[in-house]
Structures are given as structure tokens and as C-alpha cells.
Amino acid sequence: MDVKFEIWMIISVVVLFLTGLTALCMGQFNVPIDQVISILFGRGSTLKNAATVIWQVRMPRILFSMLAGAGLAAAGAAFQSLFSNPLATPDTLGTANGASFGAALGILLGISYVGIQLSAMFFGILAVILVFIVTKRSSGQNKGPIIMVILAGLVISSLFSSLVTLTKFVADPNNILPAITFWLMGSFSSISYKSLQMGTPFIIVGLIVLYLLRYRMNAMSLSSDEAKSLGVNLPLIRGLIIFSSAAITASVVAICGVIGWLGLLIPHIARMLFGNDNRRVIPASIVFGAEFMLLTDTIARCASNTEIPVSILTAIIGAPVFIILLRKTGGIRI
């Protein structure tokens, strides 16, 4: 890796740490930085309930927002590389819509919060399994199987999107429908250490797999014969990338709802800065995604007395930034 990339990564990690420290201070109950540092080092605080706010409310939320941002950005970068499609997102194979239906169904049935998360994760993974079932008999060389996977993903995504709409249609408009609608908007307001325990393992394992496969991703854009000549086991690598990205996406959606734009925007920023080499794009997407998500969530909970759903802010911020990127680069190629 070149010196420029290493310097960027060091600066980005430092900025991420400082942003996290600042986020611990900010909120409806502001805690001075010296008090936050004292609490983090176990010396307590002179402010009543400050330690509880920091450790029980803000810390799990900040940790999961960084994990979610890192995971979605890495999954988006992996899919864009795998499918050679600059518009690919973590939901290309319908994972987010599948998880959304699982959560909406759980809310409709009135099951517990943990049950809703488990239902969302189950249907998110099920969406990817259905894609593989649809495409298992596909044949052909080079891009044929990949095109079949993308098309099947669009179909499955549309199917689960329709099921979400059906669930909202039959839901009680006074109680159940608002709960489903708010959940689908995406929010970290309900994050707790139990949420971390449930979602973190899948996200971390998925991130590790994608990080270790970043060298192999560069060969995925080649033809089958060229990739095989380099010793790349295409079916295995594709399967690992798809299921790792799906596990990350399903876990994030199951815990905090649908968060758009991040998986599309952040990889393009990484490519604009460091080129198309996935050895740099994947680590950069992880760090930049964590920073973007943490910053967006901090704004969402501090901008007004009523918390703004984070997916609204990611769209408001992401759309103009993406347009600026397109105008500066003339279209980013994978």
C-alpha cells in the first residue's frame, strides 16, 4: 500500500475516534468532554446520571452505528466489484427488503422486540437463499451467471417489497401501521447492549471475510477463464462475498431498520480517492462508512427535540454528494 493511502487511513481513524468522543458529549443532555473522559476512565462524574447516559444509552448506539456504517459500506463496495455495476447496493439481492418484511410481519403479529429482530434476520437471509434457488440451474460462461443473479435479486427484492406493502395495508392504522412505518425509516434509538450481542457477530464476521477477500475481488471483473488461470475459485469466492454481504445487511436492517444510500455513496468516495483497487477500496469504505454513519446518527438525534429517522438524513446528504461526485468524475467506473 502506498504512503498516501496509509496517511489517509491514519487520519480517518483519528477523525473517527474524535467524532465518537464528540458524539458521547452531544445530545439532549450535554456532557462536557472532561466529564466524558472521566467516566470512560472509571472515575465517575460530578453530573447526576451522566455515567448512565454515557454507558447505557450513547455507547451502544455509537458502537453499533459505526459497525452498521462500516458493514453497509463494505457490502456495497463488494457488490459493486462482484457485479461490475457502479449502482449495486447491499440490497441488490433483496436482503434489505426481505429483512424489512420479516420485521413488518413481526410487528404485525405483536411479537417481542427480539423476535422482530430474529424474524428480520431470517427473512433477510431467506431472500438470498431464494436468489440462489432461482439461479441454481443457470448456465453459461463469463457474465451469464452473474446477470442471472442480479435479475433474480431484482425479482426477489420486488416480491418482498410487495409483501411489505401488503403487511402495511392490513395493519391497524392507529397503532401497528405507524410502528411499521417508523421502523422502516431506520433509527438507532432502540439500540442496547442486547442489540449489540445479537447483530455484532454477523457484521464482524462478514467484515472480516470481505476484508480478507479484498485481493480476490480484483479478479472478479475478469472472465471465468482468466480468473481461473490466476487460481481463483469463482463459485466459492462469489458465494462467500454474497453471503457475507447478505449477513451484514440482514443484521443491520434487523436491528435498526432500512438505511439507504450509504452502501452506494461511500464506495464511490473511496474509489474517487484511491482508484479501483479493492485492496484499498474495502478498508477505506469500512472506515469512511463508520465515520459517515456515526456523524449522520449524531445529527439525527441532536438536530431537533424529536429524533429524525437516520435514513432520511442519509438520503438528504447522500443524494447531493453523489451528484457532485458524478459531476467531478464524469461517472465512476468499476
- Return the pLDDT at 317: 86
**Phi and psi (nearest 5°) for 56?**
-95, -25
Region for 308 from its dihedrals, namely left if φ exceeds 0, alpha if ψ lies in -120 to 50, beta otherwise = beta
To the nearest 10°, the Cα dihedral for 69, 199, 194, 27?
Answer: 10
CA–CA dist 20, 58 (Å, integer)? 10
**Do the Cβ atoms of 9 and 283 come closer than 8 Å?**
yes
- Region 16-26: mean pLDDT is 96
In tens, the pLDDT along 303-327 reads 888 888 998 999 898 888 888 877 7
Does the structure show a pLDDT above 70 at 157? yes
Poorest-pLDDT segment among 101-110, 255-264, 302-311: 302-311
Instruction: Report residue 143's pLDDT band, with 50, 70 and 90 as the boundaries.
Output: very low
Query: Could you tell me the residue ranges of all domains in the chain?
Result: 3-329
122, 238, 107: which is closest to 179 by C-alpha?
107
Best mean pLDDT range from 124-133, 140-149, 312-321? 124-133
How far lies 42's CA from each of 51, 282, 324, in Å?
Answer: 9, 35, 45
Q: How confident is the model at residue 148 (pLDDT cuts 50, 70, 90)?
A: confident
Report the share of the chain in percent with pLDDT over 70. 94
- Confidence (pLDDT) at 334: 53
- Distance between CA atoms of 156 and 152, rounded to whole angstroms? 6
**Gap between the Cα atoms of 143 and 70, Å rounded:** 28
pLDDT at 139: 47
What pLDDT score was predicted for residue 232?
A: 78
Q: What is the pLDDT of residue 213?
A: 94
Band (71; pLDDT cuts 50, 70, 90):
very high
Assign 3-class secondary structure to the chain: CCHHHHHHHHHHHHHHHHHHHHHHHCCCCCCCHHHHHHHHCCCCCCCCCHHHHHHHHHHHHHHHHHHHHHHHHHHHHHHHHHCCCCCCCCCCCCHHHHHHHHHHHHHHHCCCHHHHHHHHHHHHHHHHHHHHHHHCCCCCCCCHHHHHHHHHHHHHHHHHHHHHHHHHHHCCCCCHHHHHHHHHHCCCCCCCHHHHHHHHHHHHHHHHHHHHCHHHHHHHHCCHHHHHHCCCCHHHHHHHHHHHHHHHHHHHHHHHCCCCCHHHHHHHHHHHHHCCCHHHHHHHHHHHHHHHHHHHHHHHHHCCCCCCCHHHHHHHHHHHHHHHHHHHHCCCCC
203 or 230, which is more confident:
203
- Does residue 333 carry a pLDDT above 60? no
pLDDT over threshold 80, residue 136: no
Which of the residue ranges 188-197, 224-233, 265-274 would you say has the lowest mean pLDDT? 224-233
pLDDT of residue 330: 61
- Cell numbers standing for residue 95: 436482503
Q: pLDDT value at position 279? A: 93
Q: What is the structure's pLDDT at 307? A: 87
The whole-number pLDDT of residue 332 equals 52
pLDDT score of 146:
77
Who wins on pLDDT, 261 or 146?
Answer: 261
Is this model's pTM higher than 0.75 or not? yes
Please tell me the CATH superfamily of domain 3-329, with its number.
ABC transporter involved in vitamin B12 uptake, BtuC (1.10.3470.10)
CA-based end-to-end distance of the chain: 19
Least confident of 85-94, 262-271, 281-290: 85-94
Confidence of residue 140 (pLDDT cuts 50, 70, 90): very low
